[in-house]
Chains A and B, each alone.
Chain A
Amino acid sequence: MVQVKDGRLMEHPILNFRRGKEVTIYFNGKQIKAYEGETVASALYAAGIRVFSRSFRWHRPRGFFCAIGKCSACMMEVDGVPNVRTCKVYVRDGMQIRTQTGFPSAERDIFAISDKIIDRIFPHGSQYTKFNNKLIRDFVLSQLRKMTGFGNPPKKEFQGNASYEEIHCDVLVIGGGPAGMSAAINAGKYGAKVLLLDENPFLGGQLVKQTHRFFGSAKHKAGTRGIKIAKILEEELRKIPNVDVRLETKAFGIYGREVGAVEKDKLLRIIPKKIVVATGAYERTLIFENNDLPGVYGAGGVQTLMNVYGIKPGNRGLIVGSGNVGLILSYQLLQAGVEVSAIVEAMPRIGGYFVHAAKVRRLGVPIYVRHTILRALGKDRVEGAVIAQLDEKWKPIPGTEKKLDCDFICVAVGLSPTHELLYQAGCKMKFVPELGGLVPLRSKYNETSVKGVYIAGDVAGVEEATAAIMSGRIAAIHAIVELGMGGEEAKKELEEALKDIEEFRAGPFGERIVCGIEKCILASEVEL
């Protein structure tokens, strides 16, 4: 039995949680115990707080969802600064945290009534189509204006030390996950001046929560756990002096040949010769009734909470989706002493590797294929779920509804490439379902239609970490060869790297990816 204290896992079969000094933070004035190294959101979660904010219009409760700063459901006012994503900020002793939406607070919000009553009378969009009398219109508008807006305006002038830096480099790598680190290593080892940016305070991207061992050949770090791979890559990277790593740095735009980024309070104007975009992917959600209820989480969000911060996500979880993420997460939940109510899969068969599925089945977790989730139950947090069987047309079959007992739901229905920077840069994009969504067209060396802008990892098509490492290598080496660096040796390695990934994708699981990539090869590459 895994020991739990104050919502935190005290021991774990694989992980060893090293918590920092105990600190006290204040949530809406209430004292809460936390540990250094925890994010505000995870500390609040451990203290049993589930409602983090209210939705903009109908004041529906919103909780923790992605845990990696993408969803904005956890925005609060921290020490007087509005709209802080609390899943990205570490706790400090004496920190004052306030919910922003709802009155008197997000947890007990009197405006929540608008979801129940006003919604019936004034459905979505009625701010445009009702109130056609001038006097009523003007009155409603003035009242609406009082209720709108997320955070409080800053009470005092921002005191940070804003600064500016201009950086010239050979290769700029955006994203420090497996693909980005691999790109930086491979460009750096041939002597290129590399700048690596990551918005997180750590390198490794989503590897940091992957406690399972990887498959594949020994050459590609098979048998090693994801968390360990992140460390190996980082060590290798840190040994190269010509690679400059900037953490907590967000790249916000590619403007022709310059790139804008913010490093804490510093604005960076980066003028790179080549750019490798390795921004990864974000979690998809699923449409069902009450899917915004606190307790409906992204699978990765739960992994972060549990495997990075050692916080117990709940007592009994329902997993939607039986891909590798869903299966691995189920196993990880069981390892942490959390019950798994069931795994629900809309397809007629399990999506992930058989070994993973067999493992969870052995532990008694029911897997419902050809089933979907109809709705989440509960008022302010998940208290159960209703699932139903699907017919051949993907419609729920009446009478097959089943109520499942659970206190949280993990949505593991796949990932979509984080393509925004590439779209903004003007790359030609295409929607390719096999690759997870909107992806840029690319050459076989991962160069996009914008010359000098490369892609690597999940942003090029959702795959997994081993392939991400390989694609980062291809992009980086092609980039430096184009810059006239690396000589014959680099050219030889480039061809090797191409052959490597081809072999890796040769198995049955690579088929879908290969098929997807064929759809988005740049026209200039296709031989007529």
Chain B
Amino acid sequence: MKVAIIGAGIAGLATAYFLAKEGVKVKVFEQKFLLHGASGRNSGGLTAQFKDEELIKLALRSEELYEKLQSEIGFNFLLRRSGYLKLAKTKEELEEVEFQRRFGLKLKLLHAEEVGEIFPDINTNAFKFASYYPRGGVVFPWAVIWGLAKGCKDLGVEIHDFKKAEVVVENGKVKGVSAGEFHEAEVVVNSAGAWSKEINEKLGIKDERVIVKEEICVTESIRPYLDPYILHVSNGLFLSQSMRGEIVGGIVGKSNGGVGSSFDFLVRYAKLATNLVPKLKGLSILRQWAGVYDEGINGKPVMGFSKVQGLYQLNGFGRNGMSIALACAEKATKEILNAQLR
């Protein structure tokens, strides 16, 4: 079987890797360079603190896959399980904790003062409650992509970068993709993230999902002292400290907008971040950037074959791609292989 995958992000590359392991001939097409999309622009937070059963299961499976893939491929993703801290102003905002515990998530519901004991620099007036997931953490997204790309290449997957691929359809059935030249394939995977909507619309598939822009910045490097990944659910602020010592943070995206960075973001982020961790005041911001992702339907990823025969949808991960995409790719692989058998 031949499979063409559009988009060399975490979902596309992981699917390519899993398929290639089963002996499938895979080609991956990336419109720009590896890391150009959301997989190269996110802040690397990993958690399973979701409000939906399916998402929790996918996240837990991804946790296992991260360990497995690092050893199997022989590549270190710089993954640190130092906890994921969800902060909130009201208890209602963390209501899902009981639900999440049912799936075996060892969560701690903490009061602000208790968080202050773990991390003395946090301003305990900026929130009231916290849900702490010790198995959560931070991964270096670039290393994940580099590692998956290495794994793919070791298995003979062709990765074509700077090739914008278009799906070729004949009589309602996928024939392959055209990317400068024609590449034949029985199955085409649409894992193009924010650009997957555009691909669908071109094929006449109705796609009303929202494309969200999110902005991030990093400060100068200081010795690591901020271990968990922090997300303030009431105001959208998130931050963590990278392996290089830079504070990586941003605000959860809302708008439907371009890819440019903005001045307003810097001002808003600086206010929120220094309110939460006052000692960050005075640190310089080194870089800022923006990225786009496609929001799924009801917060869930879009997976499965679509009405164009042979076109598999693997997108709509929203903000949760790093947490769930590996398990989604594994599931997609199974479904693609099963469909072939039938």
- Decide: A150 and B75 in contact? CB cutoff 8 A: no
Q: How far is the CA of A129 from the CA of B146 in the complex (A)?
A: 11
Question: A137-B76, A267-B267 given as contacts; is B223 within 8 A of A149 (CB)?
Answer: yes
A28: interface (CB < 8 Å) = no
Nearest CB on B from A168, distance (A): 15
- Decide: B223 and A152 in contact? CB cutoff 8 A: yes
Question: A128-B75, A129-B76, A258-B263 given as contacts; is B225 within 8 A of A153 (CB)?
Answer: yes
- Decide: B76 and A127 in contact? CB cutoff 8 A: yes
B44: interface (CB < 8 Å) = no
Nearest CB on B from A11, distance (A): 40
Question: A83-B222, A255-B263 given as contacts; is B278 within 8 A of A149 (CB)?
Answer: no
Q: Which segment of A1-9, A154-162, A374-382, A474-482 sits at the interface?
A: A154-162
Q: How far is the CA of A160 from the CA of B282 in the complex (A)?
A: 8
Nearest CB on A from B254, distance (A): 18
Closest to B73 in A: A132
| CB neighbours of A146 from chain B (8 A) | 224
**Which of B71, B80, B220 is in CB contact (< 8 Å) with A150?**
B220
Closest to A82 in B: B222
Nearest CB on A from B231, distance (A): 21
**CB-defined interface of A135-165 with B at 8 Å, one 1/0 digit per residue?**
0010001001110111111101110101000
| CB neighbours of B146 from chain A (8 A) | 128
A81: interface (CB < 8 Å) = yes
B78: interface (CB < 8 Å) = yes
A353: interface (CB < 8 Å) = no
Question: A132-B74, A255-B263 given as contacts; is B282 within 8 A of A153 (CB)?
Answer: no
| CB neighbours of B76 from chain A (8 A) | 127-132, 137, 141
Nearest CB on A from B74, distance (A): 5
Question: A127-B76, A137-B70 given as contacts; is B262 within 8 A of A148 (CB)?
Answer: no
Question: A144-B243, A267-B267 given as contacts; is B147 within 8 A of A151 (CB)?
Answer: no
B266: interface (CB < 8 Å) = yes
- Decide: B263 and A269 in contact? CB cutoff 8 A: yes
- Decide: B220 and A151 in contact? CB cutoff 8 A: yes
- Decide: A149 and B222 in contact? CB cutoff 8 A: yes
| CB neighbours of B74 from chain A (8 A) | 129, 132
A217: interface (CB < 8 Å) = no
| CB neighbours of B203 from chain A (8 A) | none
Question: A82-B222, A260-B266 given as contacts; is B70 within 8 A of A149 (CB)?
Answer: no
- Decide: B244 and A154 in contact? CB cutoff 8 A: no
| CB neighbours of B67 from chain A (8 A) | 134
**CB-defined interface of B215-227 with A at 8 Å, one 1/0 digit per residue?**
0000011111100
Q: How far is the CA of A409 from the CA of B257 in the complex (A)?
A: 50
- Decide: B281 and A149 in contact? CB cutoff 8 A: no
- Decide: B70 and A153 in contact? CB cutoff 8 A: no
Q: How far is the CA of A145 from the CA of B283 in the complex (A)?
A: 20
| CB neighbours of B255 from chain A (8 A) | none
Question: A145-B243, A149-B222, A158-B282 given as contacts; is B70 within 8 A of A260 (CB)?
Answer: no
- Decide: B243 and A152 in contact? CB cutoff 8 A: no
**Which of A132, A150, A269 is in CB contact (< 8 Å) with B245?**
A150
| CB neighbours of A524 from chain B (8 A) | none
- Decide: B221 and A150 in contact? CB cutoff 8 A: yes
| CB neighbours of A82 from chain B (8 A) | 220, 222
**CB-defined interface of B229-257 with A at 8 Å, one 1/0 digit per residue?**
00000000000000111000000000000
- Decide: A150 and B222 in contact? CB cutoff 8 A: yes
Closest to B221 in A: A150
Nearest CB on A from B88, distance (A): 24
**Which of B243, B261, B281, B288 is in CB contact (< 8 Å) with A158?**
B281
Question: A129-B74, A255-B262, A269-B263 given as contacts; is B222 within 8 A of A152 (CB)?
Answer: yes
Nearest CB on B from A164, distance (A): 8
- Decide: B221 and A145 in contact? CB cutoff 8 A: no
Q: How far is the CA of A137 from the CA of B67 in the complex (A)?
A: 10
Q: How far is the CA of A162 from the CA of B270 in the complex (A)?
A: 12
| CB neighbours of B224 from chain A (8 A) | 145-146, 148-149
| CB neighbours of A150 from chain B (8 A) | 220-223, 245
| CB neighbours of A128 from chain B (8 A) | 75-76, 78, 143, 146-147
B172: interface (CB < 8 Å) = no
B298: interface (CB < 8 Å) = no
Q: How far is the CA of A129 from the CA of B154 in the complex (A)?
A: 14
| CB neighbours of A151 from chain B (8 A) | 220-223
Closest to B266 in A: A260
Q: How far is the CA of A130 from the CA of B78 in the complex (A)?
A: 12
Closest to A258 in B: B263
B260: interface (CB < 8 Å) = yes
- Decide: B260 and A255 in contact? CB cutoff 8 A: yes
A253: interface (CB < 8 Å) = yes
B171: interface (CB < 8 Å) = no
**CB-defined interface of A252-273 with B at 8 Å, one 1/0 digit per residue?**
1101101010000001010000
| CB neighbours of A156 from chain B (8 A) | 279
**Which of B220, B266, B278 is in CB contact (< 8 Å) with A157?**
B278
Q: How far is the CA of A269 from the CA of B71 in the complex (A)?
A: 49
| CB neighbours of A132 from chain B (8 A) | 70-71, 74-76
Besides A82-B220, A129-B75, A149-B244, 7 more A-B contacts (Cβ < 8 Å) are A56-B244, A82-B222, A129-B74, A132-B74, A153-B121, A256-B260, A258-B263
Q: List 19 A-B contacts (CB under 8 A).
A: A83-B220, A128-B146, A129-B74, A141-B243, A144-B243, A146-B224, A148-B245, A149-B221, A149-B224, A150-B245, A151-B222, A151-B223, A154-B222, A154-B282, A157-B279, A160-B282, A253-B261, A255-B261, A260-B263
Interface pairs A-B: 8 shortest CB-CB: A149-B245, A158-B282, A149-B223, A158-B281, A150-B221, A255-B263, A260-B263, A153-B222
Which chain B residues have a beta carbon within 8 Å of chain A's beta carbons? 67, 70-71, 74-76, 78-80, 121, 143, 146-147, 220-225, 243-245, 260-263, 266-267, 278-279, 281-285, 288
